[in-house]
Amino acid sequence: MALREVLEIMVVDDMSTSRGMLVQALDVMGVLHVRHAPDGNAALRALWRRPAHLVISDFCMPGMDGLQLLQALRQDPGLGATAFILISGRAEPHVIAAGRVLGMNQFLAKPFAILDLQKVIESVVGRL
């Protein structure tokens, strides 16, 4: 069984268009199990109910941004090992550095091509 058939991914982005594009890109890659949330708080609640192998989260979101979500995951004993990719249109060095300190697995700048997203995912979880 291929990894794309069993991998559980949570997409988190407050912009429905961006969220939809990510979900669609994962569908094109053949990833079967993709859930999504409009913000960090909703994602965290969903992950408490059903963990995912990988979270792909936007950085800039109201309420709980991507770095705050990452920090909450890393502090949670049941979710601390969840792989995490931060995406942002603002590839500011201090944001990337903060993500690395918190345990981010990868960073991807927006806009990106589907192939770029796939390469970043595969660098974290293995070949899809």
Q: Considering the domain boundaries, does residue 50 fall inside one?
A: yes
Q: What is the pTM of this model?
A: 0.97
Q: Considering the domain boundaries, does residue 5 fall inside one?
A: no
What is the DSSP pairing of strand 33-37 with strand 8-12?
parallel
pLDDT above 90 for 50: yes
Per-residue confidence (pLDDT) for residue 1, from 0 to 100: 85
Dihedral sign for Cα atoms in the order 89, 10, 118, 69? positive
Dihedral sign for Cα atoms in the order 117, 27, 71, 66? positive
Domain count, the chain: 1
Domain range for 86 is 34-123
3-state helix, strand, coil in the chain (%, to 5): 45, 20, 35
Per-residue confidence (pLDDT) for residue 115, from 0 to 100: 97
